[in-house]
A and B are shown apart, each in its own frame.
Chain A
Amino acid sequence: MSKLQTVIRHEYLTIVRQPSFWILMTAIPVLIGAVIALSFFGNQSSVARIEELSKDLKNVSIIDDSGLINKKVVEASGLTLSPTDQTATLREQVQHNEKEALIVFPSNLASARTYQVYLSTNDLTRSSTVTALGENILKTSLFLPLGSAEIIALAQNGASATLTVYEDGKETGGINEYIAPGLFVVLFYIIFAFSISYMLTSVSEEKENRSMEMVLTYVKPRTLIIGKLLAVSLVTLTQIMFFALLALIALLVLRQTGNAIGLPLGIDISKIVFDPMTIFFGAAFLIVGFLMYAGFMTATAAAAPSTKEANSFSSIFFIGAFIPFYFITAIATDPENPIVNFLTYFPITSPVVNLIRNTVDNLGPLQSWISLIVMIGFMLLSILIAVRAFKLGALEFNQTIKLSKLFKR
């Protein structure tokens, strides 16, 4: 086995053998699943609880000054409308806990769009139940003149739009065209959150625990860095495969349920478009961007005397990866904007900006190639800086390497 292979094997196994690696990997989908499940079941149980509590709300008075409330709707809830001149008396009864609640729909309800609820208790559940009751009575009263239950439901919940988009006289996939290239943006952030930092810790820990000199006695700095880069790339591949497997399982579940779980924004799995060039550039921007960031992280770790300081220095790269989101509208809709062009070619923002522009298809083939070549240039530069910083700083255990020293011939 060559030294490069030995380094790759060691670095890869060191990361994937850590229980924390798998805990983190499974924690994300489990957490997402748990949040969705909790929200789903939580909502269901809340609705059920409110319905249950509504049945008990017999000691509630309703006063309508607005003339908008339908008497039949109130009676259907098991309640009656009280005369408007009893407002003060009923409010006092609520105050002294003789009545549970009072709902007052004022005369200016239509213009002010507020109504009053008086409660005899500070109980949050009771408060939301009475508010929901008031809301329900108001909405149903307003929608009742529309006629059928279907029309009322349509008025209350709206309808989803099915988009058909034409470009150059041909029908396009609409939002479904963005899904495949958009996945590379998501992948970039997953890699960024998980893998890029491995490069930083791998170098800075080796330096901090003083194993660096023993390693560098037998391995050239360049071999060590390339070995680490390739090992972290393999780790990333492992993560991608793991998440892809989970996504596949989710997809199968979705198909099994016959799309019972609706996807947002009119996304239709069967209509997702896989354009080879977009996929190629998405993958290329992802890989080159990953290697560029990994190079910068290595340089940072080699130049800093400790993991703590390396982490502080590296925050600039994390900021760079998230800055594009402040300009997301301009990036997606205004490709000629000078700021967008600057961010497209600025090293630490270029991966995300190019991935987003590739997703919304406003980069064009020529500019895609130019962006890719520029990014490859930055990637090579970052690796060169990393090797240089490594040679200078790997054995400097107590001091930070100055930038001037880094670029000195």
Chain B
Amino acid sequence: MTKPIVAVKNFSLTIGDKEIVKELNFEVMPGEIFAFLGSNGSGKTSTVRSLLGIYQPTSGTLHVNGKTLSPETASIVGYLPEERGLYTRSKVLDTMIYFGELKGMTRDAARDFSVSFLERVELSDKANTKIKKLSGGQQQKIQLGVAIMGNPKLLVLDEPTKGLDPVNRKLLLDIVDQLQKEGTAVIYITHLMEEVERLAHRLLILKDGTARAYGTVAEVKKEFKSKSIEDIFVQIYKEKSHEVTHV
């Protein structure tokens, strides 16, 4: 039986006086695209930060590949945060190599990966350009490149297509698709439900730090007697709080 790459058990997080996440449980399997959904402030980002070891859980466990992660051991994860950006005064290639080294790659390996990635996303000519001189879409490609450096076993993408034009959106989704086929698990955070319908194998909808729907796309649709994830999402957010529906 395949072991989950991510196993979150009874995870709760309180920051200050605020209970951000309550008794959350979920698993992500290798090679699957797992949609992690919820409105702003529902606890998605805090959960991801806890998974990466940036935040310490108040209770429960968050394991990636069987271990609790810390920034020192998070190199098996590629992360594209929602609040993302790059060193605007640095050059593209220097920035990519720096992140590659932070992820534990050698300088040469980081350089080789960066050069081939820039070629793939048609930005080879920008390797020695300062980040601030790139367009928003070009910067986002570089951010994705940084996230997927070092062949991560788990890729966490927080609204990866936000602000991208259709061409670049397709390019990004193709890269995600390829990585998933190669066995990388993807936690995909988005507000675009058509992307969930198209990409996701399983999903979790979070509201007020509590899981409200969890299972395969088909299972969740069946449970909520709905043909659309968007309708289910709206329904959950219109409801008054109630306990999780495990499918």
Contact = CB atoms under 8 A, between A and B. Distances in A.
A183 B101 CA distance: 40
B239 interface: no
A214 B84 contact: yes
A209 B86 contact: yes
A218 B87 contact: no
B74 A210 contact: no
Interface string A1-41: 10100110010011000100000000000000000000000
Given A18-B89, A217-B52, A395-B49, A3 B107 contact: no
A171 to B, nearest CB: 55
A214 B54 contact: no
Given A217-B52, A217-B71, A220-B72, A209 B88 contact: yes
Interface string B53-73: 010000000000000001110
Contact of B70 (A18, A220, A405): A220
B99 interface: yes
A211 B89 CA distance: 12
Interface in B21-54: 49, 52, 54
A214 B72 contact: no
B: interface residue count bin: 20 to 34
Nearest to B91: A17
A155 interface: no
B54 A217 contact: yes
Contacts of B54: 213, 216-217, 395
A395 B52 CA distance: 14
B83 to A, nearest CB: 5
Contacts of B75: 218
B206 interface: no
A333 to B, nearest CB: 47
B81 A218 contact: no
A405 B16 contact: yes
B85 interface: yes
B102 A215 contact: yes
A219 interface: yes
Interface in A195-215: 205-206, 209-211, 213-215
B220 interface: no
> Top 9 A-B pairs ranked by shortest CB distance?
A210-B85, A209-B85, A218-B102, A213-B81, A6-B101, A210-B83, A211-B85, A10-B98, A217-B79
Given A211-B86, A214-B143, A217-B77, 17 more contacts: A3-B72, A6-B102, A13-B94, A14-B87, A210-B81, A211-B87, A213-B83, A214-B84, A214-B85, A217-B71, A217-B74, A217-B79, A217-B81, A218-B103, A220-B70, A223-B71, A405-B16
Interface of B: 16, 49, 52, 54, 70-72, 74-75, 77, 79-81, 83-90, 94, 98-99, 101-104, 107, 143, 146
25 contacts: A1-B101, A1-B107, A3-B102, A6-B98, A10-B98, A14-B87, A205-B88, A210-B84, A211-B86, A213-B49, A214-B79, A214-B81, A215-B102, A217-B52, A217-B74, A217-B81, A218-B71, A218-B74, A218-B99, A218-B104, A220-B70, A223-B71, A395-B49, A395-B54, A397-B83
